[in-house]
Structure 1
Amino acid sequence: MSTPTPTTALARRWALDVNMGTVETPDWVRVPGITEFNPAAEPNIEDSSSYDSEGWAENTKTGQSWELGVTINRKINDSVKVYHPTHEKFRAAAFAFGSASEVQVRYMDRNGLPEAYQGTALVTWAPSGGEYTALDQVEMTLTGTGPLVSITNPLA
């Protein structure tokens, strides 16, 4: 039996879903038109060195934050003059306050590999603009509010 040759994962392996339902009854819908996806989960590290460490630095993780940078090609249904409902969910949340400003998202490896995460985020919505030949793109920053938890990949 031969050993399979490893291949390099591609950036486009990520899929993003947004909950169009409620926390109690989720309705996960895929977000179409993603052209760029940048996940980040940065720890907060504090220096916890003391005389006891004999000159060696010691550090302690005291917190964690997460964020998704997402660029989308804005999708429309021009026969009924509406934008894609997932895109509208993000846009509406970006201009809302309180619980209406939060969206539940999950992202996962679309090839079924084990990496998959879920959390609640606040939305920053920034249309890109551009020349007359440009597509209507929006740059979104989804800033985590609360934990980003590992989940079983629903595509596995």
Structure 2
Amino acid sequence: MSTPTPVTALARRWRLEVNMGTESTPDWQLCPAITEFQWEAPPNLEDSGTYDDDGWDGNTKTGQGWSVTATFNRKISKDSTVYHPVHEKIRATAFGWGPDSEIPIRWMDRDGLPEAYEGSALVEWAPSGGNKNDLDQVEVTFTGNGPLAQITNPLAA
């Protein structure tokens, strides 16, 4: 029996969801129309080397942050009277203060593979603008406020 040839995963495998409910009664909904998605969780490393290390560097992880940057096409109703509710929740959060400036998000592999994450984030909202033929796009940066949890992928079989 031969080993199957592995296939390279695609960047579009990510699905971003926003909690439109509350912490006690979550209502996770898709953030639609994403055209670009990037996340990172860089550690904070501090030099912990000493004279006793014979000149070799020592490093200690002392913290970690995380962020997600997503660009999406802005969606409106067919009668052009309202924006998509998830997009509006994100936009409104970007202009909030205190607890109103954070939004719970999660993202996962849309094919059900094990990679999935959840956390609470502050929002930066940056419309792209453009010329008369461009789509209305927004770049949103979610900056983690607190831990990024590795979760069981809700789309897993």
TM over 0.5: yes
Q: Structure 2 CA distance, aligned partners of 1:93 and 1:31?
A: 14
For structure 2, the residue ranges without an aligned partner over 5 or more in a row are none
Instruction: Report the RMSD for the aligned CA atoms in angstroms.
Output: 0.8
Query: Residue 7 of structure 1: CA displacement?
Result: 0.4
Secondary structure at 2:8's aligned position in 1?
Answer: coil
Corresponding residue for 1:153?
153
One-letter amino acid of the structure 2 residue matched with residue 111 of structure 1: D
Q: Structure 1 CA distance, aligned partners of 2:24 and 2:71?
A: 29
Deviations 1:63-96 (A, max 9, x none): 0000001001000004160000000010000001
Q: 1:80 to 1:132 in 2, by over 3 A?
A: closer
Matches within 5 A, 1:32-51: 32-51=32-51
Q: Structure 2 CA distance, aligned partners of 1:113 and 1:36?
A: 20
Higher strand fraction: Structure 1 or Structure 2? 1
Corresponding residue for 1:97?
97
Query: Residue 106 of structure 1: CA displacement?
Result: 0.4
Corresponding residue for 2:16?
16
One-letter amino acid of the structure 2 residue matched with residue 143 of structure 1: T
Q: Structure 1 CA distance, aligned partners of 2:67 and 2:80?
A: 34
Corresponding residue for 2:118?
118
Secondary structure at 1:77's aligned position in 2?
Answer: coil
Tell me whether 1:133 sits opposite 2:146 in the alignment.
no
One-letter amino acid of the structure 2 residue matched with residue 56 of structure 1: W
Secondary structure at 1:3's aligned position in 2?
Answer: coil
Moved over 6 A (4+): none
Query: Residue 4 of structure 1: CA displacement?
Result: 1.4
Q: Structure 2 CA distance, aligned partners of 1:64 and 1:96?
A: 25
Q: Structure 1 CA distance, aligned partners of 2:92 and 2:78?
A: 20
Query: Residue 3 of structure 1: CA displacement?
Result: 1.6
Secondary structure at 1:112's aligned position in 2?
Answer: coil
Q: Structure 2 CA distance, aligned partners of 1:132 and 1:99?
A: 37
Paired-residue identity, %:
65
Number of equivalences: 156
For normalisation by structure 1, the TM-score amounts to 0.98
One-letter amino acid of the structure 1 residue matched with residue 85 of structure 2: P
For structure 1, the residue ranges without an aligned partner over 5 or more in a row are none
Query: Residue 2 of structure 1: CA displacement?
Result: 2.9
Q: Structure 2 CA distance, aligned partners of 1:81 and 1:148?
A: 36
